[in-house]
Structure 1
């Protein structure tokens, strides 16, 4: 909710409550995907992260649109001219007649010089703009936003669900010392049945995490009856994810009455605790590193026979393979980015995801950017001038908090930019409201956005 990402965040326990870190904080309105434990409440109501977002929304003052600013300037200029001409006409009539006629002439001239049709004409043009936007399947809450969109100089966009589809897709598989790409996977789907079945039993039966959902969806594609498969096995023990060893384990009783431990987790942890020889370990690590460099999310799958002790063991695991997934770009995004950049509109990506993933998506969609990527921690404690300088020179911001998105938009506006902000999550709400024009995604966007 706070990062806008579909990937679950890992939290760790602490022993000293005076040294609370970001990795140990649980936030109101977020969901626990795996694990269990005790927690101490440190904030409630408006003092929570969710409450602070609400306070930030209330404090935002709506800026005048460029159209409103220009109309005010025009009306002010016309009023000054009308006053000057009316006084001149009044004086001239008074000199040739009496002061009553001069006063009436001045009032008449003043009224005739004020264009009463302006509001009507502008309203008609805005209504036509709203109608054209509706034909493009875009709903407009305020008519003046149509004109503002045409004046935008910078577009700040979220990544997940906006530039990307917001769902995980299987990209590569490492199996039997070989990396298989998406095309290879589609050609030889049934060859990976053992790996996918192991992955099903390694992950949660009730799929909540997007990666778990994709594993079950892929299993169905290769004709594995997921429900029947789980019914054939009996869960003995469920060991949630531990930050120490970065693994999750499930002990299952198989149809053959044996007890098998199925494990999933960080590739480096699974590989180092596996029975692979040194040569195979190096190959697996090399494969993992090449996958990670592409910005993909990688998990390792393993299993172990526990028929003798029926206890979870994290050593001497039988390494099965690696699953690599990504959140692919939306159809048409690359063309839209290219159109904006050719029109001189700067595109900035602001995401809660990691740097590698953000950079990978930017490369895929043809987004121009500085090779130096900015992390959210780099923005902490920056002065207003320093923040403006960073925003001026960089186009990709990763691991960004909601209040930092707000600050980036504010910095751009202070530089004279007309900012359009697109987003779909609760974490985007403050920036959406602060921007000159906020664009919320329709079908998958949250109600707050």
Structure 2
């Protein structure tokens, strides 16, 4: 975990491996310190006007002085007083006040639209913006994972609904279904039980996930299927678990059957390729059958190509004597239930905003840490470009600073990026004369936000 990480759920022990400027936050702080503060277009224009006006006033004053003394016979001291008086009179003393008042009116109007302006010239710079670089999660998307599809050995089911609200219908092959088929319902139950997240409804009526976003989406799926999250977890009491770990890439839990039965059940979820390797059978409406690996590989690839994150689900009944879980006990002999595809849906207002920007000639670019395929799918849904070009962070590192401006100009999506990549992209766009606005919602966006002509930090709808 990085310095500053908040623990959302669970417990554990940590070993400190770096402090101060050697931490990730320290590295970001160093990048911020290296960014030079830019002058806004308005201030550049005012400074240019001031220099021209000063040169004009001095030149005109000198010529007038010479004319008054040489041609009109004025005494040099009288001529000097006249020139000074005229120079003072021609200076537009009210210009700074007029500019300040005008910008203040703009700040007030922006505040009425829930946008707080820290520096007055940023109001004018917003109107000059030619390129907008935006983060994806929490800015262009809702930052609320949603199960969009469930695939079993029998069929593929589309799940409706947005966010964590447990409301939405199911459909298969275009036909609406009132309830999930048995195998898909079993998958939904496994996703609810092998899960540490809890969905809660706030006073504003908005549903929120306390825990991992993908686990919250699984709870919402189960509730859409008619399961009660508290009731099911009480009935199927958890006896033991193997927490998720990036090394083994799955989570497993052992549950006691309801109504005092001696049966025990193991549920498991994780990376589909890992879960498939632990199974030798798959569940169908007619019963268990041999695992069809080609079928699952095809559907996993199809879900991933549409920008979905995919989880696989499996289960295994026990003889009732099993009271704890071990890695050896779950690494083989499981029954594959199916896969679920998750997506962080775009904000409706973001889709409309992107369309307005493109119609106004403003280019919108997505800079994200997500996988390239996922980012490209979201970009198509947002309408960032007719055929969005994707460049990854690894590809950026192979491009020199001299060649980067051309690449940045023609690219709509930058994926797998880190704070240094974001900073280079903004600088490359500015090197071609673009006025760049950068939106971000996390501390990793801070260097690029400072470098941009307009840095827009997301507030209530951001992730940080």
Q: TM-score, normalised by structure 2?
A: 0.84
The superposition leaves residues 330-370 of structure 1 with CA deviations (integer Å, 9 ceiling, x where unpaired) of 01222221221222211111001110111001111111166
1:324 aligns with 2:336: no
1:123 aligns with 2:135: no
Retained in 2: the 8 A contact 1:36–1:240?
Answer: no
Matches of 2:128 and 2:149 in 1, distance apart? 42
| Aligned ranges 1:360-439 → 2 under 5 Å | 360-368=377-385, 371-380=388-397, 382-439=399-456
Could you tell me which runs of 5 or more consecutive residues in structure 1 were left unpaired when the two chains were aligned.
1-25
Aligned partner of residue 412 in structure 1, secondary structure: helix
Retained in 2: the 8 A contact 1:350–1:396?
Answer: yes
Retained in 2: the 8 A contact 1:35–1:241?
Answer: no
2:170 matched residue in structure 1: 185
Alpha-carbon deviation of 1:194? 2.5
Could you tell me which runs of 5 or more consecutive residues in structure 2 were left unpaired when the two chains were aligned.
161-168, 172-176, 199-209, 283-288
1:9 matched residue in structure 2: none
Matches of 2:107 and 2:3 in 1, distance apart? 38
2:50 matched residue in structure 1: 75
Matches of 2:463 and 2:37 in 1, distance apart? 21
Structure whose residues are more often strand by fraction: 2
Matches of 1:222 and 1:355 in 2, distance apart? 32
Deviating more after overlay: 432-441 vs 206-215:
206-215
Change (3 A) 1:97 1:205: closer
Retained in 2: the 8 A contact 1:157–1:348?
Answer: yes
1:293 matched residue in structure 2: 305
Aligned residues: 422
1:63 matched residue in structure 2: 38
Aligned partner of residue 117 in structure 2, secondary structure: coil
The superposition leaves residues 262-302 of structure 1 with CA deviations (integer Å, 9 ceiling, x where unpaired) of 10011122234321355743323322221111010111111
Deviating more after overlay: 272-281 vs 49-58:
272-281
Retained in 2: the 8 A contact 1:239–1:250?
Answer: yes
Alpha-carbon deviation of 1:128? 2.2
1:204 aligns with 2:196: yes
Alpha-carbon deviation of 1:174? 1.1
| Aligned ranges 1:35-434 → 2 under 5 Å | 41-95=16-70, 96-183=73-160, 185=170, 187-189=177-179, 191=181, 192-204=184-196, 208-243=211-246, 245-255=248-258, 256-274=261-279, 275-276=281-282, 277=289, 280-307=292-319, 308-310=321-323, 311=325, 312-368=329-385, 371-380=388-397, 382-434=399-451
1:6 matched residue in structure 2: none
Deviating more after overlay: 330-339 vs 157-166:
330-339
The superposition leaves residues 1-47 of structure 1 with CA deviations (integer Å, 9 ceiling, x where unpaired) of xxxxxxxxxxxxxxxxxxxxxxxxx4222356789887654321111
Retained in 1: the 8 A contact 2:316–2:334?
Answer: yes
Aligned partner of residue 248 in structure 1, secondary structure: strand
Alpha-carbon deviation of 1:197? 1.3
Matches of 1:216 and 1:278 in 2, distance apart? 29
Alpha-carbon deviation of 1:244? 5.1
Retained in 2: the 8 A contact 1:259–1:305?
Answer: yes
Alpha-carbon deviation of 1:176? 4.5
Alpha-carbon deviation of 1:80? 0.7
Matches of 2:322 and 2:215 in 1, distance apart? 28
Aligned partner of residue 87 in structure 2, secondary structure: helix
Change (3 A) 1:36 1:137: closer
The superposition leaves residues 202-235 of structure 1 with CA deviations (integer Å, 9 ceiling, x where unpaired) of 2335651101112223333444221222122333
Aligned partner of residue 181 in structure 1, secondary structure: strand
Retained in 2: the 8 A contact 1:297–1:325?
Answer: yes
Matches of 1:358 and 1:151 in 2, distance apart? 27
Change (3 A) 1:346 1:83: same
Retained in 2: the 8 A contact 1:177–1:283?
Answer: no
Retained in 2: the 8 A contact 1:172–1:185?
Answer: no
Matches of 1:209 and 1:406 in 2, distance apart? 29
Alpha-carbon deviation of 1:410? 1.5
The superposition leaves residues 377-402 of structure 1 with CA deviations (integer Å, 9 ceiling, x where unpaired) of 12225432133232133221001001
Deviating more after overlay: 298-307 vs 222-231:
222-231
Matches of 2:154 and 2:294 in 1, distance apart? 10
Say what the alpha-carbon RMSD is for the aligned residues.
2.4
Which of the residues 30, 35, 49 maps onto 2:5? 30
